[in-house]
Structure formats: structure tokens, C-alpha cells
Amino acid sequence: MVHPVVASVVGQVTDDRWGQVLQTPHAYGVVEVSTVGGMARQRGVAVLTELTNAFDTPPVSLSALTSIADAVMSEDIVSLILLVPVGTTLYMVSRGPGRVYLKRDTKLALLLDASQSLSGDVRLGDVVIATTTGFVQTLSSEEIIGVFDHLPPIEVAEKLTMLLHKKEGGEGGAALIFQVGELVEQPESETTVMKEVLTQPPPVGRTIFFHRAKAIGRRVTTQRQRMFLRKVSTFVYRTPALSPKRLVTYAVITLFVISVVLGIRHQQSTVKTSALTETLTQAQHSFDEGMALLDLNPVKGRERLSQARDLLAPIVSRKLRSEDGQKAGRLYAEAVDNLTRSMHITHVTPEIFFDVSLLKKGAAATDMSLFEDTIGVLDANGKTVFSVGASTKNGTIVGGGDAFSGARHVAIYGDKMYVWVPGGIHMIRLSDQKTIPNTIPPSTEWGTISDMVAFGGNVYLLDTVKSRIWKYVATEKEFSDIFEYLNPDTLPDLSRATNMSIDGSVWLGSTTGDIARFTSGKENTYVPQGADTPLGKNLSVYTGDNTKMVYVLDRDKHRVVVFDKDGLYMSQYVWDNKLSVTEIVASESLNMLILLANGKLYAVKL
């Protein structure tokens, strides 16, 4: 019988690529899964569970092992390799483009390549390496043999894991290192022992048994009780099925059944303990790697800490009292604590910054725009425009009246504030609070104008019906005619866009969970990455030429998430869901985030 020494190598996992090592009391193997839609981990765990159940009874032939592999195999399983030792013979089955190597002394030989089956005797000291597709594509045979150097399997596994993680393309890769540590003779089977027990004669005779029972009965029972017992004993005496020999047989069978049940429970417990230990090992590895990477690569570090947290969450939810269960709880708490600190998640209570109803009774802010230290605020229902000092909180009414009926958007740049109404765009000079109506007349090209931004003296309009960004260029006295900002060969769908922000490039939020960026009229892809939880669907974005960061209002999750302009996560601010925020601006010079909610302006310190 083979007593192996086993170690596992597991590469990085993604939402769509996952690999793991299988270890049960009777079988070993590796599996790699590839799915679409972020379900790789769930699918992989299901495959391991199916294999664990299949090996409750160990296969005793290569054909039986082949049947198990074929039954489990499906389209989303990239590689599947199973190893079962029977005596000194090792059965091996491979499905998919994986490989099995044999290291004997200093030589490394390829045993299986792709979908094949093989069996053969092993020697003391032999090392079998079973590898999946991701492992094979990342590490060469020379690199594998180069890390052994007479080291035990665990140290070899550590070296291979580090090597696998350093290289690109190893996602989902896994390897099993199976070393023949000891060969012992097969012990006498339980069947033979049980047969001997069943053939042993009963220790006492039937007559002696009943005489002793009667003697004891006379001393401890009343006459009525003895009459009842006499009837029972007569019934037992006259019933062949209740003879002492039969009773002993029944007892032995009962003990056998109990031993089988206990054996099954012990086997299941062993499998669960092995799976728990493997999960703990993998979680500890992800945690250690995450802590080491936090300073060097925060995004990767947080990914590893998140992996450790997600691996341990199911174990912690079971509230196990075992030593491994308590260890999992402590590691989970450390992972969550360090992940929270590294994510720079700040829970805030926004405070009222300015209430325009203090300047005009019943006024409620519906739109705002920020330029340097001045905030332009529109009260569409009240047909009034305000200016508010960001540093002083001084507010002034700068325009209003019937000319602003139907106003929807306000934009500020320099000394000028622009207000969009269905009949055109009015300009208000802040220096003398003079309104110049229809500075930009309405255009038949307009569809539905969903936002307006002033940048560099020019005015930009977001048209979600016609999927256009209209641009008006400022001249010495007025504005140019309307023309399109986007290049003719750039035809994006802007029907789900929510707002627009400009820092030289044009940024758009959306109700699809995406952030679009256009530079010089062409699409310039922007991919946010590194947040602890994905962004929701309903997003607005704010940035500017004097703003280093990109501020994303995630309405679904009641937060503002901060990224740099390369898409790298920086921090986030989360508030109570009772505050329904519709728009944001940020002043980095004042370290302040301004939120528009419930007709008022709220502030959060950055």
C-alpha cells in the first residue's frame, strides 16, 4: 500500500478562471475550470464536491476511475486529472490538455499528455506531478525540474507557487505533487475479521441462560411480575428466532452496521477536515501575499485580501468550534480589518453646506456647477439662479424671473454663468449680475439636452436623444455656430448617459454602470479597477482640469468612489441611504465634496 506525501500548487484565480487540488482519503487530482459570467469559483467547488462524493467508495480498476472522470467532465472543465493508488499500483486518468510527469531519481518523464489513461507500479521516492492547462502553459519542464533539488514536496510546492504567480497567464493553473513516501503491506481486510466473528460459537447455552434469569427474577420481583416474566421467557424459549445463538448473531450484525455507519461518518469528517485545512492554507497564502503587496501594488494586494476573505466567509458562517474553525475566524477578522483599512472606506454623515431657501423662501436647488471658488446653483421651479462662495458660504441671487421658465441646467466658467432654457442659453455676468438672454439661440439640431458644461470659455451640451455632444466656441463678442465635438467616425450610444464633466477630455456617467471618456473627439477607454465591490448601475462622474482625481457618484450604493485618472481606486465615502444624492462637485483645494440632495447643498470633508 502507498503512503503518499502530498503538496499542492494553486495559481491566481479570477472570476472566470479557477483551479484547485483534490485530496480525499482514496483519490487525488487537479481540476481547472473556465466559465463566462464570473461563476468559475462556484462551478469549481461543485466539481470538487461531486468528485469527493464519487470517491466515497474507492475505485479498484482503471476502467472504474475512467468512468468517474468521464461522468464529471463537462465543457467548462479545462483540465481534469485523477490519481488513485491501489496497493503499489497507481491509476491515472487525464481529461483535457493537462500533463502528468514522473520524477524518478534525477530524471523527469512525461507520462500523460491531454486525454489519456495509464496505470503502473511505483517505487519508494517516486514523485508524480499532475498539472493543469494554466500550469503547463506558464512553466516549462526545465523550470519544474529545476525547483526540486532533493527538497520535500511542501517546499517544492512553495517554490512552484511563487514561480507560477510571478508569470503572466497562469490564472487557474494548479498542480499536485504526489511523492511515494512509504510502501507497506496490505492489512487483513475487515471482511475476513468479520467472517471469523460470525463463525464463533455463542459463549453460553440456552438452558443456563434461562435458569440464571429465573433465579435473579425470584429475588427482585413480585409474584405477579414473575408470572409475567415466566410468560415472556416461555415465549422466547419456544421462539427459534429468539434463541441465544440468533441473538448473538443479531448483536454482531448490529455492531457491524454501527461500525460501518461510524466509518462512513469518520470518512466524511476526514474529507471535511481535509477540505477545511486546504481552504485555510489557501486563505493564509492569499492573506500573506496580499499584505506583502499592499505597499507595492495596492490593487493586487486588495485582490488577494478579498480572496482570503471570500474563502473564509463560508467557514466563518458555520461557527465551527474546532481549532481550525477558530483559526479561520481569526484570519477572517484580520483580512476584513486590513481590507477595510487598505480600501480607505470612510463612513460619513454629510452636513448641510448651504440652503438656498435662506435667500429666497421656498427655494430648492435642482442643479449646480463649480468653478474655482464659486458654485452656481439653479432653482428650476423657482426660476432663480444663485451664486455661492465655496470657501465663505456667502450666497447671492444673481438672476431670475419668467425668462428662466423651464430652466434645467446651469454652468459656470470665470465671471460668466450660463443657464439652459428651452428657448436658448442665457448668460449672467457675475460682476454686475446682468442677464444677457439667448446668448446662444436654440437650435433645430437639439434633441434632449441632459447636461451642460462650460469649459475653456466654450459651452458643451450633452444630447442623449441624438447621441451627440454639441459644442459652441467662444469668440470675442459671441459664440460660434453649433458643431459636433465627436469625430464623424465616433458614433457612441449616449442614450443612457446621466451627466457630463470636462477636464480637457469629456467624461460621461451612465445608467449602465459604465464611465465613458472622449479625448479630441475620439473614445478614450476608461476602466475603473480595485474597488472592494463593483460600481452600481446609476453613475455620475465629476472631474476638472484642476482636479487630480475622478469622483464617481454611485447612487445605487449611496457612496462617492474616488479613482485616479488611470482608473486606479483610491478611496470612497459612504453615507446613510436616507440621503438621495443627485449630483456632486469636488474642490480639492478646499478638501471638500459638495453633494446636491433634497434641494440643499451638503458637504463632506475629503
All three cell numbers of 556: 445605487
Is 356 found in the same domain as 232?
no
Tell me the three-class secondary structure of 186-255, residue by residue.
CCCCHHHHHHHHHHCCCCCCHHHHHHHHHHHHHHHCCHHHHHHHHHHHHHHHHCHHHCHHHHHHHHHHHH
SS3 425: strand
Residue 332 lies in a domain: no
Residue 327 lies in a domain: no
Contact 539, 555 (CB under 8 A): yes
Residue 324 lies in a domain: no
Could you say which of 221, 242, 263 is where a domain stops?
242
DSSP state string for 7-39: EEEE----SSEEEEEEE-SS-EEEEEEE-SSS-
Please give the helix or strand (H or E) that residue 154 lies within, else none. Answer: helix 153-166
Q: What is the pLDDT of residues 342-368, one digit of tens each?
A: 878 899 999 999 999 999 999 999 999
Is 203 found in the same domain as 182?
no
Across-strand partners of 413? 416
Residue 567 lies in a domain: yes
Which of these ranges, 10-14, 195-199, 290-294, 473-477, has the smallest mean pLDDT?
195-199
Is 206 found in the same domain as 180?
no
Span 286-290, mean pLDDT?
A: 89
Contact 512, 463 (CB under 8 A): no
Sign of the torsion angle spanned by Cα atoms 57, 60, 62, 63: negative
**For 232, left (φ over 0), alpha (ψ -120 to 50), or beta?**
alpha
Q: pLDDT band for position 443 (50/70/90)?
A: very high
Tell me if the pTM is above 0.85.
no
Is 211 found in the same domain as 143?
no
Is 144 found in the same domain as 233?
no
Span 552-573, mean pLDDT?
A: 94
Is 64 found in the same domain as 204?
no
Q: What is the pLDDT of residues 242-255, one digit of tens each?
A: 667 777 787 888 88
Residue 580 lies in a domain: yes
Residue indicated by cell numbers 469625430: 487
The closest alpha carbon to 434, from 453, 411, 417, 413, belongs to: 417
Contact 147, 163 (CB under 8 A): yes
Residue 520 belongs to what domain range? 351-605
Q: What was the pLDDT predicted at 184?
A: 67
Is 218 found in the same domain as 162?
no
Sign of the torsion angle spanned by Cα atoms 267, 269, 272, 273: negative
SS3 144: helix
More confident residue, 110 or 517: 517
Is 367 found in the same domain as 433?
yes
Is 226 found in the same domain as 168?
no
Rounded distance between C-alpha atoms, residue 523 and residue 512, angstroms: 17
More confident residue, 259 or 235: 259
Is 200 found in the same domain as 159?
no
- pLDDT of 202 higher than 50: no
Is 555 found in the same domain as 430?
yes
Is 583 found in the same domain as 493?
yes
Residue 296 lies in a domain: no
CATH number at residue 88: 3.60.40.10
Residue 256 lies in a domain: no
Number of domains in the chain: 3
Residue 560 lies in a domain: yes
More confident residue, 223 or 76: 76
- pLDDT of 382 higher than 50: yes
Give the CA distances from residue 513 to residues 378, 494, 508, 533, 548, in Å, rounded to whole numbers and listed in that order: 27, 13, 11, 13, 22
Q: pLDDT band for position 3 (50/70/90)?
A: confident
Q: What is the pLDDT of residues 129-163, one digit of tens each?
A: 999 999 988 888 888 878 876 788 888 888 888 88
DSSP state string for 503-515: SSSEEEEESSS--
Q: What was the pLDDT predicted at 206?
A: 46
User: Vertex 485, ends 482 and 489: CA angle to 5°?
Assistant: 120
Contact 107, 56 (CB under 8 A): no
Contact 385, 363 (CB under 8 A): no
Torsion of CA 439, 445, 448, 454, to 10 degrees: -40
